[in-house]
Structure 1
Amino acid sequence: MSMEVRTASSRDSGPMARLINEIIAIGGTTAHRRLFDERRVLAEFIAAKRGICCFVATDGAQILGFQALEWCDPDWPGEDRLPEDWAVIGTYVAPGAQGRGVGRALFLETAQAARTAGVRFIDATIRRENAGGQAFYGGIGFVDYRSGAETVSKRFAPG
């Protein structure tokens, strides 16, 4: 595998939608339930309103995974509101590419972007049944800081 990590662009929105839709269809590893189209991928990941970065890992023309980081929503109406200097991360790796270092390669770039942006902490809120996601984030230095009925929240200080 010859992997390259680069900034996501609008031309990636179709392959990214197919990748995340496959993950949603399998179930159990993402809080997303509604399928994505190219416009939604663009709006929520590539050109998000509070976006800091979005990277894709590729092997030739194939997208192996992507990772997006955005500032927390200061107007979040729900529980567990985060401080304004925190960011939220999402990592999506194709099922056939998991365990091959894709997430780690993406995070090297994301962590640098977080440092440059002045992020104090990165939040990863993971479904309880997603043991692989919890192990991944723990393995790259995230530590538990909050636990809910359906999720575990981990944080990372990029500074």
Structure 2
Amino acid sequence: MVQIRPATPDDTQDIVTLLDALIAAGKRTIPGDEAYVRAHYTGGTRLVTHLALESDRVLGLQVLSRSDGASPYGTPEGWGAIGTHVHPEAGGRGIGRRLFVETLAAARAAGLTEIEAAIGLHNVEGQAYYEAMGFRTWRTTSERNCKRFDVTRATPLG
């Protein structure tokens, strides 16, 4: 049974293992070593990182940060910035949806009104996932399709 919980620094190596599996499957190009994970998923300026676990194996994660306006993706200051990663062997099991329920609650608790997902133009699975969650394209760059979610709307999932 899949359980969702916030990540802690003790989860760093398990998150590295997940990111390595995504790199090996060609679904991630950014390295995910321990220093990167500590800076972006278990520490740093994130608001929360939720993990999806089954038998203590990390099957997915979703991170939510508050943009300071200096985002490499151009996320507006004060908006949430979201990232989602699901193990290549765990796709299609509803893990992303379950993670987003928890992340949306955290976004509301933090007073965010908008969340942006900056997805690579060729990441068809990522585009479809965020559309299914209710994110809508609001701008496109040369490398990314940027989708936004209105946190204040009544229906949490599209």
Q: TM-score, normalised by structure 2?
A: 0.89
Secondary structure of the equivalent of 1:103?
helix
Separation of aligned partners in 1, 2:9 and 2:115: 25
Identity %: 36
Post-superposition offset of 1:61: 1.1
Q: Report the Cα distance in structure 2 between the residues aligned to 1:9 and 1:82, rounded to whole angstroms.
A: 25
- Give the Cα–Cα distance (whole angstroms) in 2 for the partners of residues 125 and 5 of structure 1: 23
CA distance in 2, matches of 1:86, 1:107: 16
Name the CA distance, whole Å, in 2 between partners of 1:85 and 1:58: 30
What are structure 1's unaligned runs of at least 5 residues? Answer: none
CA contact (8 A) 2:25 2:88 kept: no
State how many pairs are aligned.
152
SS of the aligned residue for 1:46 comes to coil
Q: Which protein, 1 or 2, shows the higher relative CO under an 8 Å CA cutoff with sep ≥ 6?
A: 1
Q: Say which of 36, 52, 56 aligns to 2:51.
A: 56
Root-mean-square deviation (CA, aligned residues, Å) is 1.5
TM-score (norm. length: structure 1):
0.89
- Moved segments of 4+, more than 4 Å: none
Q: Is it true that 1:85 corresponds to 2:78 in the alignment?
A: yes
| Letter of the structure 1 residue corresponding to residue 63 of structure 2 | A
Partner of 1:119 in structure 2?
112
Mapped to 1, the partners of 2:35 and 2:69 lie a distance apart of: 24
Kept after mapping to 1: 8 A contact 2:117/2:147? yes
